[in-house]
Amino acid sequence: MNDARYVLLSLTGIARKSLTSIARQQKELEQFVFDYVSIQEFAKLAACLSGIRSRLEKPRLHAALNSETD
């Protein structure tokens, strides 16, 4: 699908200040997290958690189906 629509936005001064504050807070949070674990370690952790989530999906669905039939 080729969509040529676009949106032009204009921000108020308050909105710009809010976005600047949010960006600063995000940067501080990332610094806090990555001072504890490296990006590579974080990626490995995320992959492990994703794998756990995938492995739990089948038992969760099975339990949900069993509870509906009881």
Which two three-digit tokens encode residue 14? Answer: 């308050």
How far from 61 is each of 3, 25, 51, CA to CA, in Å?
A: 38, 38, 16
**pLDDT tens string 10-33:** 999 999 999 999 999 999 998 988
User: Strand, helix or coil at 45?
Assistant: helix
- Of all residues in the chain, the percent with pLDDT exceeding 70 is 96
Give the model's pLDDT for residue 1.
63
Q: What value does the mean pLDDT of the chain take?
A: 89
